[in-house]
Structures are given as structure tokens and as C-alpha cells.
Structure 1
Amino acid sequence: MKQVELLHQPESPILVARLVLAFGSRVDPPGQRGRQQLLAGVLTRGCGELNAEDFANEVESYGANLRCDAGDDFLVVALKCNNDDANFLLPLLLNMLEMPSCERDQVNLERDLNMQTIQRMREDPFYLCHEKLRQLLFSDGPYGHDPIGTRNDLEKIEPKSLIQISKQLAAHSALLVLAGNPPSSLQEQCVNRISGWTNKIEAGPLLIPEPLENFAAVRCRTEQVVMMIGFRTIEIHNPDALLLRILQVHLGVGMSCRLFQVMREELGLAYDIGAELITRSSDSPMIWHLSCGIDRAPEALNAFLGEWRRLIEQPISAAELNLAVAKIKGQEALSCETLSQRADRLAALLSYGLPKNHSELCLKKLPHISPAELQQAAKRLLQKPNLSVCGPAAALNDLKHQWQVAMS
């Protein structure tokens, strides 16, 4: 894999850049959950001789958009600017990793902002339910926490330690994707600078085995119950990943999906419902979620379990498969409409070690997949469901008993 990739768009007045390092939240040390996201925020608060105010003024004076975030697997610096301004802004993006300032007052300010964000998120029953599900799937392993971390851990992170970590950024293998029409001299400058980095490639942290416990609950004073059934599945490189995506689209994408049609339209059980497959470099989680009234929660759980058993015991129909395939084709088309979308896709594929034409290869495989293959994939990958619920205490007790009976 090259360190600098170009998506050439000759007529584009805009330049989009994505700089990716394998420095996501999965490398947060024990007791320092949220460190990588904290670092990502601090990187936009000055570099080299520019303090936080000067840095912001420089970027905003060009009308550019610059952000930095840490996901589960990667830390990504994203830039969007006028093509004519790239000669200044693109080197500035590299300076963020080569010469981060990480001033103590800016670290403390960013930490306060992240803790305020966590406080707001904890008012959301879906967030609380999802965090419990993370623990069921990954316990205290690398994927067992939200990238933003926890208040307790953020309070323990010293600015000095964050500064030390920031100095190591240019010692890791990096990928820079440029989309647009950058001057060849600027592209060559980027290649030369990144090539001068140490480019150390480190193996990711090992995941711990999936916990035996498969039920978790969090009390919340609401008039509804949120449920999430989660499965710890496979990494993005696995040949079964495409089969799993078809199942996810069949179950939970759009108003014509299986879960929406059965549980909302036919049974009237759910306010909100869907299914997600979260891409990871290792053990991606598949999550089915719904919210419903307290009085109908037992019925909703029973219907949820019925859909799980149906998926494993019966192949989906040819019509359902054709609909899921059509949705995937539509998603693929919609996800590459803009220059930013195409840059995001290429950066993600190459960062995960997949070929540039991975999406095209998957589309070619779709017509050859059968309902029987999908059923076998469901049997292999969705054998151990985990349930997380959020709601009033009385409802949680009843749901726990119902779950234990069903799983026994």
C-alpha cells in the first residue's frame, strides 16, 4: 500500500484530504479510556509555532473545514478546502502530526468539553443501552468502550502523558488520500514528508474472549423500554462479511426491511427499529435495536427472539434476497456521489488492507449468493445473542426473567 493515494478529479475546485493512522480508541490503555479521542481534539488546537487561536484563525481565514476524530480502529484527520489554498493547508495538516503543541491548558479545555459531551450522552437511553451491550460483547477489551471514553478515566489522563503520546504520531504508518486536483509539486512534497516518518507498524491489541454473560440492564426513568440484541461476529476481511451485510440490510434497512414490517407495521410493537453492522478490523458487532412502550416490552422481546430464530431456521425468500441486493446497490451508488464520500471510502478500504475495487468485487458476487448460503451464515455467525435493555426497574426484572427462560 502506498502512503499517498490520489483520486484525480481534474475539474474540481475543491481538495479533500484524509490522513489515517491506526491509532483509534482500541489502543486506549486500561484506565485511560477516551485518550485517543482526547488527543484527536487537542491536535486541532495548535501545532508548531501556532497556538490554538492562531491555528484556528489560519484555517478559518481560508474558509476550510478541518477536523480530527478517533474511531474504534483509526485516528483520522480530515481536510476540505479550496484547491488554490491547498499549498498552505495541506502542509499544515502534516504539521499537526509532526509538531503537535498539546499545550496543557488546551488539553484541560478539550477534556472538559469531552466530559460535558459524555454527560449529555448519558441522558440518552439508546446510548446507555448500547454501552451495556458493548460490555456484553467485548467486556473491558479494546472495543469495550465508546471512543469518547468515560468521565472517571478522562479525569486521570495527565497533559504530560498526552504530550508524550502526541510526539509518537509521526512514528506510525500513515495513509494520506487526496481527492481533487492538487499540484503535482504539492503531492510530491506530501510523499517526501510522510516517507520520512518512521512508519512503524504495530500489531493491534488482542481481543479478549467473549464474556459468558448475555444479559445486561440499566435503569432509566422513561416511559419506554430500549432493547438491543447484539452479536459479536467477524472482521471485515472475512469472506462471510458480505453475507452478513446482506442479512443486516434485509433485517434493518429502510421501511421495507423485515424488522420494520413485522414488528412495527404488522404487530405495532416498536416506535423505532433497525439493525446495524459496525465495521471493525476484528470482530464486528451486529446490533438489532428497538424502542417500545413499557406494557408491550415482553411481547416485543418475544417477537425479537422469534425473528432471530426464523433467520437461523429458515432461508429468506428469493424476493427478500433480491430486495436486499437492490438496497445494497443503491447504498453503494449513494455513498460515492461526492468527492468527500469517495475519499472516505478509499481511505477506509486501504486502511483496512482491502483492495481499491473491493466494493466492485462485492457487487459482482451478489447475484451468485443464494438464500441457503445466507441461512448457513446466520447459523455460523448469529448463534449467541446478547440482550441489553434500558428502562424502568420493574420492566427490567420481567425482561430478565423472560430472557433467561428463553435462553435456557
Structure 2
Amino acid sequence: MSSCCDLVLDPVTTTGVLSAKLWIRRGSSADPRGQRGGHQLLGSVLSRGCGPVDHLQLADLIEGCGAGLRCDTHEDGILISLKCRDIDADRLLPALGWMLRQPHLDEAQIELEKDLSLQALQRQKEDPFHRAFDGWRQLAYGRGPYGHDPLGIGVDLEQLQKAELSCLAADLESRGSVLALSGTIPEGAKERLEEWLGTTKTRFSCQEPGATIQESSELDPGKRSSLGLQALATEQVVLMLGQAALPHGHSDDLALRLLQAHLGSGMSSLLFRRLREEHGVAYDVGVHHPARAGAAPFVMHASTGVDRAKLSLELLISSWSELMELTISELDLNLAKAKFRGQLAHGSQTTGQRAERRAQLRGLHLPDDHDQSCLNQLEQLRGTDLREAARRHLQSPQLSLCGPEGTLASLEKQWSLSDFAAGAKP
């Protein structure tokens, strides 16, 4: 097991503010069979007592300094976030090492966090959007690493006890971790961090981008159903049309990110104009395409009323087909590029955002200058490049629907008549 943490320092002139992000490369995709939700539960109890302090003492330490501490579990990693004054760094940064290597895993705290997770899962079941996305996730990934929400599955979560979490905690550093600091970094912080966390001094991970990417589904795309139905007694219908596409850092990833901006970013996006302004059929539209170590979702989504669901589906299907059939105009391409530049800029405004992005890039085994490299490549991309990337990676979308049974039956028939229903290429 590696005992080293990759260190990234990002000095920024601030009024004494320091943001620290510890990315541990063990997210929900690493949940063992029968323990889906294990890493999320583990992440939630890391701050419930560690090292020489119990949960109350840790809370007093953090709040006594006016600092903030939280832990979030994602598909590809657990992210521990600390924001504090630079003068408090010596008191607070050691806690990151305690959480990583000396969690208490108190049984009472485990039960408390488990109850909160089960409540959150129950709330998700009542949310049409979550129901639709869970249905799509099952279609796309099956029982693969990305096949469940990081919160887990209720039947698995209920069975988790301290013994299982202890095993997961002992394996937390098996894939390594990354600590990124941004803001006013105290003098000598690197040396002290190396003492506290055993950090390495390397500038960049020795692994090439994509080297650790695993197959994200156990099912062959041709054997999976193309349609998932989630019946819910509501007047709302949520439609999700998408495909498991590419890992972050893939050579075609930039093209898909421009398509995401073109389709779903802002009120000038294609889906907003087409579904809301031109036809008035949907009150919420967008494209979900997160950064992942494995095949990331590329999903169009729309929320509409039952009386407009049929036209909404028709417009989503035609919009998806156009990605492969038509070349976007130079005007739309330039607008998508401008949006992409803006997204990168907006995502680097605060020290927390800067530290998180740097930790994420290292966590995904990508170079520190990945975003700048993407900006450098923008001008070389043409509309034909985006169309060809779509043809390579978006040929077999899957549809997930959530709404009342009668509407779902009608939409199911409509989908069966589409070119994508049986995985056929358009």
C-alpha cells in the first residue's frame, strides 16, 4: 500500500485564505459487491472522530478557528475540503492526515450517518429527476462500477457495519491520494505536509492519462435494453436520452465538451431554444457530462408536462440524430468555444475551485496543464471534428423516462419506432 500523497501547491494572493482539497482515489466505483454505498458512508464518518480527537473535539477545533470542513464522495474519489486562515494551517491541516489514516469509525456515528444516507435515498425515490437518472444509469452501466448512486443501495447500506468500513478504510490509499493547496500558503508548508502526510515531491503523476481507467460496465452495449421506465404518480415527465461516452482526458473529450456547451449551456443553447423558446414544451433542459475516470455520461435531459411529453421526446431524438448527421455552423461552433472558455474561467474564480480542479486533474492522472492544453487545441477543432466524434461515441443512446404509467406507455411506443430503439445506427 502506498503511504504517499501527491502534493500540489497553487500560491494565490489572498487576504490570508487557504483552501485545501484532499482527493482520495477510492470513490463509489470502488464499492465492493454487496457494499454499494460503503465509500460514501466511510467518507461521511471520516470527520466523526480521527487521530487524537473525537467528533466533538474535531468540530470544536474546526469551528473554533472559523474554518470549514466537509467530505463528499464521488464516483471516482472521496474529496475532503478544508478552508481556513493561513495562520491556522498548522493546527488544522494535520486533521486531513488523521482522517485519511486514523479514522475512529465509532459505531454510534456510523449508525447516525447510515440513517441520514437512507433518508437521502428515500427522498431521491420521490424525485422524478433522480428516478429517471437512476434508470438511465442502470441501462448504461448495469452492475458496473458506475451503476449506482454514490449514496449506495438501501439493501446494501443497511447491512454495513464497522467491520466492513474498517476494511475499506485500510484500503483507502491503495490507489493513492492528492492534496492541493490554493491561496496564501504558509512558509514551510511543503515540508510540514510531507511530515504529516508523507507527501511526494513529484510535479506530475507517473501514470499516463487514462492508465487506470477500467471498463465501466459489465454489459455489452448490444445486449442492453435501450429503454427504462420509472412509473410515478405525477403530472411531470422527465426524459433522459444519453450514452456512456468517454473518460476525461480522452482525445475526443474536448469535442464532446463543445457539443455539451452547444446543446445545453445557457439560454442560447440548442435545447433551450428548441424545446423552450420555439416549442414551449419543457421548463428544464440541459446536458449532463461530468468528468470521470471511466466512460462518462453524456445525457440530454428535459422536464415537461404529460401533454407535451410526446413532442419533447421527438425533439430530443431529432437533436441527438443531428449530432451525427449535421455539421454545426461556424457561428454555433464559435459560441460553443466561447462558452467552454467561460466555464473554465468561472471554475477558477475562488481558491476552493482552483484547489479542487487541481486535485481532480491529478486524481484522474491528468497533467496540471490539462485545461490550458484544451484551450490551446480549441482553434484547431472544426464542426466536422465534432460530428465525427459524435459518430464514434454517440451512436447508441439509451432513454430513461419517469412519469405516470399511461404517458410512459405512449412514449414507449414512440421510442420503439425510432432508429435508436434497437441500438441501430442512424
Provide the secondary structure at the position in 1 that maps to 2:71. Answer: strand
In the alignment, the residues of structure 2 paired with residue 273 and residue 287 of structure 1 have an alpha-carbon distance, to the nearest angstrom, of 11
* 1:332 and 2:344 correspond: yes
Query: Is the Cα contact below 8 Å between 2:6 and 2:199 reproduced in 1?
Result: no
Provide the secondary structure at the position in 1 that maps to 2:328. Answer: coil
Distance 1:10 1:399, change over 3 A: closer
Provide the secondary structure at the position in 1 that maps to 2:188. Answer: helix
* 1:118 and 2:121 correspond: yes
- What is the identity, as a one-letter code, of the residue corresponding to 2:118? M
Q: In terms of mean alpha carbon deviation, does 384-393 or 186-195 score higher?
A: 186-195
Name the structure 1 match of 2:93.
90
* 1:169 and 2:172 correspond: yes
In the alignment, the residues of structure 1 paired with residue 13 and residue 328 of structure 2 have an alpha-carbon distance, to the nearest angstrom, of 45
Question: Shift of residue 10 of structure 1?
Answer: 4.7
Name the structure 1 match of 2:403.
391
Question: Shift of residue 289 of structure 1?
Answer: 0.3
In the alignment, the residues of structure 1 paired with residue 329 and residue 167 of structure 2 have an alpha-carbon distance, to the nearest angstrom, of 56
- What is the identity, as a one-letter code, of the residue corresponding to 1:77? I
In the alignment, the residues of structure 1 paired with residue 213 and residue 410 of structure 2 have an alpha-carbon distance, to the nearest angstrom, of 40
* 1:291 and 2:303 correspond: yes
- What is the identity, as a one-letter code, of the residue corresponding to 1:134? R
Q: In terms of mean alpha carbon deviation, does 330-339 or 133-142 score higher?
A: 330-339
* 1:27 and 2:27 correspond: no
User: Runs of 5+ in structure 2 lacking a partner?
Assistant: none
In structure 2, which of residues 366, 378, 385 is the aligned counterpart of residue 354 of structure 1?
Answer: 366
Name the structure 2 match of 1:320.
332
Name the structure 2 match of 1:14.
17
Provide the secondary structure at the position in 2 that maps to 1:3. Answer: strand
Distance 1:76 1:236, change over 3 A: same
In the alignment, the residues of structure 2 paired with residue 196 and residue 247 of structure 1 have an alpha-carbon distance, to the nearest angstrom, of 38
In the alignment, the residues of structure 2 paired with residue 222 and residue 229 of structure 1 have an alpha-carbon distance, to the nearest angstrom, of 20
CA RMSD of aligned residues (A): 1.9
TM-score normalized by structure 2?
0.91
* 1:129 and 2:128 correspond: no
User: Identity, % of aligned pairs?
Assistant: 38
* 1:54 and 2:66 correspond: no
Provide the secondary structure at the position in 1 that maps to 2:341. Answer: helix
User: What is the aligned residue count?
Assistant: 406
In the alignment, the residues of structure 2 paired with residue 186 and residue 33 of structure 1 have an alpha-carbon distance, to the nearest angstrom, of 37
Distance 1:333 1:204, change over 3 A: closer
Query: Is the Cα contact below 8 Å between 2:240 and 2:401 reproduced in 1?
Result: yes
Query: Is the Cα contact below 8 Å between 1:226 and 1:290 reproduced in 2?
Result: yes
1:193-208 equivalent positions in 2, closer than 5 A? 193-195=196-198, 206-207=215-216, 208=218
1:149-228 equivalent positions in 2, closer than 5 A? 149-170=152-173, 172-195=175-198, 206-207=215-216, 208-209=218-219, 210=221, 211-228=223-240
TM-score normalized by structure 1?
0.95
Question: Shift of residue 206 of structure 1?
Answer: 4.1
In the alignment, the residues of structure 2 paired with residue 298 and residue 366 of structure 1 have an alpha-carbon distance, to the nearest angstrom, of 37
Query: Is the Cα contact below 8 Å between 2:5 and 2:177 reproduced in 1?
Result: no
Deviations 1:304-359 (A, max 9, x none): 11111122111011111011111111111111111111111111111111111111
1:242-253 equivalent positions in 2, closer than 5 A? 242-253=254-265
Query: Is the Cα contact below 8 Å between 2:5 and 2:198 reproduced in 1?
Result: no
Query: Is the Cα contact below 8 Å between 2:213 and 2:247 reproduced in 1?
Result: no
- What is the identity, as a one-letter code, of the residue corresponding to 1:247? L
Name the structure 2 match of 1:272.
284
- What is the identity, as a one-letter code, of the residue corresponding to 2:255? L
In structure 2, which of residues 38, 41, 62 is the aligned counterpart of residue 38 of structure 1?
Answer: 41
Question: Shift of residue 237 of structure 1?
Answer: 2.2
In the alignment, the residues of structure 2 paired with residue 374 and residue 5 of structure 1 have an alpha-carbon distance, to the nearest angstrom, of 33
- What is the identity, as a one-letter code, of the residue corresponding to 1:161? E
Provide the secondary structure at the position in 1 that maps to 2:50. Answer: coil
Query: Is the Cα contact below 8 Å between 2:5 and 2:199 reproduced in 1?
Result: no
1:62-77 equivalent positions in 2, closer than 5 A? 62-77=65-80
Deviations 1:91-138 (A, max 9, x none): 112111121100111111110011111111221100000000000100
Provide the secondary structure at the position in 2 that maps to 1:169. Answer: coil
Deviations 1:25-60 (A, max 9, x none): 000011111110100000010012312112111111
